[in-house]
């Protein structure tokens, strides 16, 4: 029941294609759980899902990352050269690196190379700057609950900007199909 609810929620709220949802379900099956507070998360990747997926616990060597992501050594080297994937402390990769590498591998099947993905990272960094503008005044407050409110606000803004981004991409692709 939880799997079905997850599929329907992600489709409705994030416009994810079934292929992507299938991959997320496969991650669940492999033990990389996309769980937050006992309920399946409805975002393709968030800091909450990374924590629940055990970002600190996922420690992949280069070889295991390549295998788990289904990519080549060359693709990983390119991803690292464009700072899309970074090796962490102790020379291991975390859940975020796995997610990015796997997604880049899927995009590579369509001819998109890491150099093309820099614009996506840049757009995400600009969105983070917007979140920071909202959070900075909140974090300056000295109240006990300011940090908690800031965390909730950051998560909500991230969810909304991700949804808006997906809507713009979806609308743009729809326009391409009608040409």
Name the residue ranges covered by the structural domains of the chain.
1-54, 55-112, 115-177
Contact, 50 vs 95, CB < 8 A? yes
Instruction: Read off the pLDDT of residues 10-50 as tens digits, 9 standing for 90 and up.
Output: 777 766 677 777 877 776 666 555 543 333 343 344 444 44
Architecture of the domain defined by 55-112: Orthogonal Bundle (1.10)
- Residue 93 has phi, psi (to 5 degrees) of -105, 145
- Report yes or no: 23 and 102 within 8 Å, Cβ to Cβ: yes
The pLDDT tens digits for 59-77 are 788 988 898 889 999 999 9
pTM over 0.85: no
């Amino acid at each position: 029941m939880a799997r079905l609810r997850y599929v329907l929620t992600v489709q409705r709220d994030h416009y994810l294609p079934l292929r992507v949802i299938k991959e997320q379900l496969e991650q669940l099956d492999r033990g990389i759980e996309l769980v937050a507070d006992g309920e399946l998360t409805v975002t393709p990747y968030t800091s909450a899902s990374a924590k629940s997926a055990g970002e600190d616990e996922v420690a992949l060597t280069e070889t295991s990352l390549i295998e788990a992501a289904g990519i080549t050594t060359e693709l990983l080297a390119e991803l690292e050269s464009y700072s899309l994937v970074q090796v962490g402390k102790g020379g291991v990769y975390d859940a975020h690196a796995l997610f990015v590498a796997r997604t880049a591998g899927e995009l590579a099947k369509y001819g998109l190379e890491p150099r093309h993905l820099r614009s996506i990272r840049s757009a995400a960094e600009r969105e983070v700057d917007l979140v920071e503008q909202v959070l900075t005044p909140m974090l300056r407050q000295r109240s006990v609950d300011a940090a908690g409110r800031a965390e909730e606000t950051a998560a909500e803004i991230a969810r909304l900007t991700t949804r808006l981004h997906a809507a713009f991409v979806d609308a743009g692709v729809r326009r391409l199909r009608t040409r």
